[in-house]
Chain A
Amino acid sequence: MSRTPAFPPAFQTAPPKASPRASLSLAVVAVPALLAVTAMLPACSADESARHDFTKQQITMFREQVLPILEDNCLKCHSGEHPKGELNMTTREGFLKGGESGPAVDLENHEDSYVINAVRYEGLDMPPSGPLSPQNVKIIESWVQQGLPWPADLHEIEFEAEAGPPQVTAENRQFWSFQPVRDVAVPDVENAGHNAIDAFIRHRLSDRGLTVSPPAAPEELVRRMHYDLLGLPPSPEFVAAWSKKIDAGGTLDQQAVAALTDELLASPHYGEQWGRHWLDLVRYAETNSYERDGAKPHVWRYRDYVIDAFNSDKPYSQFIIEQLAGDELDEVTADSMVATGFYRLGRWDDEPADPALAFYDDIDDIVTTTSQTFLGLTVNCARCHDHKIDPIPQRDYYRMVAFFRNVRRYGVRGHDSVLDASVAEIDRPADAKVYEAAMTRYNNDTRDAKDRMAKIEKLVWDDLQEVEKEDFQYDMNKLPILQKRVGTLLNDRQFNNFRNQFNRLKQLQSKKPTGLASALCVKEDIRGNKPTHILTRGNPHAAAEEVTPGFPAILSPPKPVIPQPADGAKTSGRRRVLAEWIASGDNPLTARVMVNRIWQFHFGRGIVRTSSDFGFQGTKPTHPKLLDWLAAEFVKSGWSVKAMHRLIMSSAAYQMSSRPSEQAWAVDPTNNLFWRFDMRRLSAEEVRDTILWVNNTLNSEKMYGPSIYTDIPDAVKAGQSRPGSGWGRSSPEDETRRSIYIHVKRSLLDPLIESFDFADTDQTCPVRFVTTQPTQALSMMNSEFILQQAEKFAAYVATEQTDGAAQVQFALARAMQRQPTNTEIQRGLDLIASLKENDGMNHQDALKYLCLVALNLNELMYLD
């Protein structure tokens, strides 16, 4: 943002482009008075400013009342070198001279001043965002009537005008993140630590006279690593066993760290933890929001694809290409089709008021998610106008839109339209005969149920009002509409019959034979060669210049080569071009952005803290050289995410203690320099999974497949227009599966998961909030869920230990994953004794509440 310099008066009042003014003056010949004023303006202006001697009160009024109005409402446009309408309102002369419409103020006939006309909204409505308050209008009127009082010593109001949007210039191209990843040398430092990461970090610390924190205690480090990679607590025994592998200094041996890292990375639960990070970024949810908030068919396959991608260490470049263009590859696989579910995870308004706008809203969702997630660029800010902060012109936004222009909307309306636009078969049945037999049975059964229902529907159809006939097409309305006719047109038996068949049909449909596996995926419509236009102010009904696909110019990209689709091709091939450019090692952003995310999920914050914004308004990297070094390593490793985990976790930086240091805190309270490891609270999923793990009920064995339903209290479902609609009941062994498998319904989230800051489901979420609220405490103390878990915990403890002290010890160790001290055990025993004595509880009940306390410990919730 640049400051408008105070130009010398001569320059300021030099007549700008005389011709438009002249012609405008001629156009108003019907008002000779105005013409006359315009003509005599130069002389008058000079005289007025020299002659006027304003009172102190008038000057105060200007400074305290008029000036704030001008600053807040006028000067943004009417200042600087090229003020709007050529009216400069930063000087008194500016008002008198006026702009395209003539002088802004008429000192002879105040009422004729167009400033007054404008603020009264009597034609020239200003400011454009809406009228000033009546008080402020009066102030302006009075100011004009008093002859425009202006301090003698104020030639010009200094106004820091918003500079125009930054341009794509050679200078702006020099911005660090727009430049290719640099080849950086690892700095030489004394006490170099474990690897290059430590050299970079210690180099910067020593510049500031700081040293690194000591290594974390072995128990803390084992717990940190376990949660970090798996999102689950280690057992106290696991911690104890690994913590024995120490070196002479008492810290965890580096070979042990490497072995532990490998062991954890080999666990299938690794993909569940790191896959969930990715799901946050791609706004993963399993329903569409809006009135029906309907479920997305087969969406869970995308979730499973992501879990597998992390577990199999799929190269990140391939991961990108499959999600953006898995249907346009030379070899399309079931996996790569499922990956394109990426396009289908967003919201879907199935009855938009403005369908054209909805189409572009959906494309915008894709542009936003793609540019922020893969590139760390907020290209979406250039939808209505050039990006205000980054050198991304509006044109570049629409050039990116052009890559997605042929993507079909998620659906038109109704389930069948979704199947048509967004679902494809991806696999052949294993045994065609078995499948066919099952399908025949299925078809017969469903037809039978429908026929029986139709007979009963017929009895009431003529009685239905028009509105009811319309409603009847939705399943959810059928029973209530028929029920109204029980006792008149229907008897109880008929109604019950209908209900039974209705439920039978639902049951059948939920278990439709899955011979052909289907996937939610992208589809294009390339008929008609649809052009892409820049849309003025983002308005789909105001198409301007046509554009072709292109990459953001500020990145100095190659010109995309758009293939000509072959005859009969289903897609345009454009998305593959975009995907391959993003996934290229030459792209300045892709590797930096991803390696920064990996760092963020290990350390709690990225080297660039704004991990989805590497533009001008993002934060600068705290360690730019380290970031570039890691990005280069990432590409060299073949885009291996697991290689990055090994690299990062083997650093001394990762293994540092989280304890405070007064000296370092005084210099660097936000730990910009990584002088220690930051503590973190468990994520929402980790909280729930940990509770279930601690009481030994977590079903972590079962992975993948359709999502599960937790037991959401009726009081929460009461907020729905049809309480319980779209939320089922899972079997007890499904209900205790890991949280990543809980159905993500946009309008109804599990209250515990939501309360611990689950990711925003509607938009890409690079960093989760960590809030602390009394409602969390209420649910962790009083909810039916937590009380049940405490009870199960106590039952588990009682089966493992019989002695009171041993029980307390066992319970606390489970919760904290370390052996409790004697004081801690005694404190638990005291509580149990007190609950027995004062509240008349039996031992098992008292133990349950001790277990409840254990589940609420800060030590359980926070990692060192």
Chain B
Amino acid sequence: MTTPRNFCGRTRREMLWQAGAGFTGLGLTALLDQDGFLNGQTVAADGQTEWSNPLAPKQPHFPAKAKNIIFFYCYGGPSHIDTFDYKPDMYGMDGKTVEVKTFGRGGHKNVGRIVEPRWKFNQYGECGKWVSDLFPNLATCVDDIAFLHSMTADSPIHGSAMLMMNSGRVLSGHPCLGSWVNYGLGSVNQDLPGFVVMLDPRGGPISGSKNWSSGYMPATYQATVMRSKGDPILDLSPPAALAGGGQRRLLDTLRDYNRDHQQLRSDNSNLAARIASYELAYRMQSEAPEAVDISQETQATQDLYGLNDPKCSSVGRQCLLARRLVERGVRMVQIYSGGAHNDDNWDAHGDLENNHNLHAGETDKPLAGLLKDLKQRNMLDDTLIVWGGEFGRQPTAEYAKGSGRDHNSYGFTMWMAGGGIKGGTSVGTTDELGSRAVDDTFHVKHLHATILHQMGMDPNKLSYFFGGLDNRLVGVEGASPIWSVIS
């Protein structure tokens, strides 16, 4: 009995393609196809031009529980002990000085002044989960949610910590989760991007596009920023002068020129691909606006997401769009709650109450609406929801005065729902102050491993060759999924 093992889990030709070895034309396409690498030959939208697409759907490693991901990213770092990680012993301790090791933007400290959690907690659902008053609506969904209370990350500084949450590394230049998913699985809808990011109207996160970059992978796998108002995708709308069918005639003329050019160069598939790409773009022009047209939704649905409430209508709209996009096959949608700087996001260094009332208030109803809507449409089973930020916050005050908390990557909470995740569970614990994870400690790579696993991929096998190394989202040493939250 032998175990066939090709080099590092992929074919040599695929490796060469990844190394950008300069293959041109149909030659490489043909070879890769023999290896089953480009196993989705697509015929372009004009129905004639053959086209092989790096985003064509690919088979997962094993049957997937989830088909799509919606990652609700709370930029800035929400406080776990004020939201989902209940610390009853802290009540009545406000202002007391305790010895506790912390590390945030203010550096390493050994002592601090306790800031008592500013919200009351109540129990919800059959599972009896304690949730703070920040999330009264979401609290009604706890039986569908698995809470990870013992998350840890390598950095308590926004820049590197966000790169870690998005790309698994604190170093700039690595592909993010959505790129990995599209690289591994392709996209089932060629008329829409496979990976979409929606930003907070107040601004992008720090480091901007580095957070959704494909790093050393081709640009094919990077995210497309989609706006919930106006032109949803950059350069989507043709000029008004061509609206009356002029664009079609223009594209037909272009195709005629390009076909003539191609005739003497018939073996060059890149030429055909480029012809086809114009037809795809043309289709995208009509598909994308349809996808974001929420007037097609009933009033009841819109209300469910809180569109009737000015406080949360913006996030509500994004959550509703996210559902419409995954419905149409977009693999991953990432929504940023919070943008820009300071209290425009969850980074509550100053006034904790104002900050978290604002951001939780904006997101509570839309998130609950999203979970309920997916559930009523039987979409929750194959849509994986992930919630959290790049880290949590400290139990103690950052400054001599005030309730602001500094960053905490020693222990924080994230949650997942749908996509084969076991609802009504909570795993891992932090100490009695929530200062650090103490039991069943998980790292960002375990979260990533869980996401990839639910999408049908073995996190230790999904690799991409670059710079002489087999790179993986979960790192060279590998990581197992968090089995205890997988149903």
Contact = CB atoms under 8 A, between A and B. Distances in A.
A523 interface: no
B261 interface: yes
A670 B23 contact: yes
Nearest to A764: B467
A763 B173 contact: yes
A617 B468 contact: yes
Interface stretch (B81-89, B122-130, B476-484): B476-484
Nearest to A831: B253
A802 interface: no
A749 B258 CA distance: 29
Given A159-B3, A767-B19, A748 B172 contact: no
Interface in A49-87: 67, 71
A291 B25 contact: no
B341 interface: yes
Contacts of B480: 129-133
Contacts of A787: 239
B418 interface: no
A570 interface: no
B208 A719 contact: yes
A798 interface: no
B24 interface: yes
B483 A838 contact: no
B185 to A, nearest CB: 18
B77 to A, nearest CB: 13
Contact of A671 (B5, B27, B258, B341): B27
Contacts of A704: none
A461 interface: no
B5 A773 contact: no
Interface stretch (A317-325, A685-693, A855-863): A855-863
Interface stretch (B139-147, B213-221, B302-310, B318-326): B213-221
A746 to B, nearest CB: 7
Interface in A771-797: 771-779, 781-783, 787
A783 B155 CA distance: 39
Given A160-B3, A671-B27, A782-B236, A613 B253 contact: no
A605 B22 contact: yes
Nearest to B446: A130
Contacts of A524: none
B254 interface: yes
Interface residues of B, number: 120
B246 A838 contact: yes
A746 B2 CA distance: 47
Contacts of B339: 721
A859 B159 contact: no
A844 to B, nearest CB: 12
Contacts of B274: 772, 777, 858, 861
Interface string A189-233: 000000000000000000000000000000000000000000000
Contacts of A658: 265
B209 A839 contact: no
A716 to B, nearest CB: 7
Best-buried of A378, A471, A716, A781 by chain B (most CB within 10 Å) = A781
B171 A347 contact: yes
Nearest to B460: A129
A755 B242 contact: no
A658 B261 CA distance: 13
Contacts of A353: 103, 154-157, 160-161, 170, 409
A838 B244 contact: yes
Interface in B236-275: 236-239, 241-242, 244-247, 249-250, 253-254, 256-258, 260-262, 264-268, 270-271, 273-275
B236 A665 contact: no
A291 B159 contact: yes
A633 interface: no
Interface in A716-761: 716, 718-723, 746-749, 751, 754-755, 757, 760-761
A766 B18 CA distance: 12
B224 interface: yes
B33 to A, nearest CB: 11
Interface in A387-409: 389
Interface string A156-168: 0111100000000
Contacts of A779: 234-235
Contact of B467 (A67, A368, A715, A859): A368
A777 B218 contact: no
Contact of A610 (B21, B27, B267, B351): B21
Nearest to B19: A610
A769 interface: yes
A617 B12 CA distance: 9
Interface in A666-683: 669-671, 678-681
Contacts of A606: 22
Given A670-B23, A787-B239, A760 B215 contact: yes
Given A720-B208, A762-B215, A771-B218, A852 B22 contact: no
B427 interface: no
A283 to B, nearest CB: 9
B24 A679 contact: yes
B98 interface: no
B148 interface: no
Interface stretch (A264-272, A462-470, A494-502): A462-470
Given A769-B20, A771-B54, A849-B250, A613 B468 contact: yes
B255 to A, nearest CB: 10
A357 to B, nearest CB: 8
A610 B19 CA distance: 7
B275 A858 contact: yes
A858 B157 contact: no
Interface string A5-33: 00000000000000000000000000000
> Which of A160, A609, A858 has the most C-beta atoms of chain B within 10 angstroms of its own C-beta?
A858
A67 B199 CA distance: 47
B207 interface: yes
A131 B234 CA distance: 44
Given A609-B16, A781-B278, A774 B207 contact: no
Given A605-B21, A719-B225, A747 B207 contact: yes
A775 B27 contact: no
A225 B45 CA distance: 36
B205 A351 contact: no
Nearest to A67: B1
B64 interface: no
B374 interface: no
A289 interface: yes
Given A291-B157, A660-B267, 17 more contacts: A291-B207, A349-B170, A613-B19, A617-B468, A670-B23, A679-B25, A719-B209, A720-B204, A722-B203, A760-B215, A766-B20, A770-B24, A772-B274, A775-B281, A831-B253, A859-B257, A864-B265
20 contacts: A130-B479, A157-B1, A291-B207, A381-B467, A467-B402, A468-B350, A471-B342, A600-B22, A604-B22, A609-B16, A609-B23, A659-B264, A671-B24, A720-B204, A757-B219, A762-B172, A764-B467, A838-B249, A839-B245, A862-B268
Interface of B: 1-3, 5, 7, 16, 19-28, 30-31, 54, 103, 105, 154-161, 170-173, 193, 199, 203-210, 215-216, 218-220, 224-225, 227, 231, 233-239, 241-242, 244-247, 249-250, 253-254, 256-258, 260-262, 264-268, 270-271, 273-275, 277-278, 280-281, 284-285, 339-342, 349-351, 398-402, 404, 409, 446, 449, 460, 466-469, 476-481, 483, 486
Closest 4 CB pairs of A and B: A130-B480, A378-B468, A762-B173, A605-B22
Interface of A: 1, 67, 71, 129-134, 154, 157-160, 289-293, 347, 349, 351-354, 361, 368, 372, 378, 380-381, 384, 389, 465-468, 471, 477, 600, 604-606, 609-610, 613, 615, 617, 619, 658-660, 665, 669-671, 678-681, 713, 715-716, 718-723, 746-749, 751, 754-755, 757, 760-764, 766-779, 781-783, 787, 823-824, 827-828, 830-831, 834-835, 838-839, 841, 845, 849, 852-853, 856-859, 861-862, 864
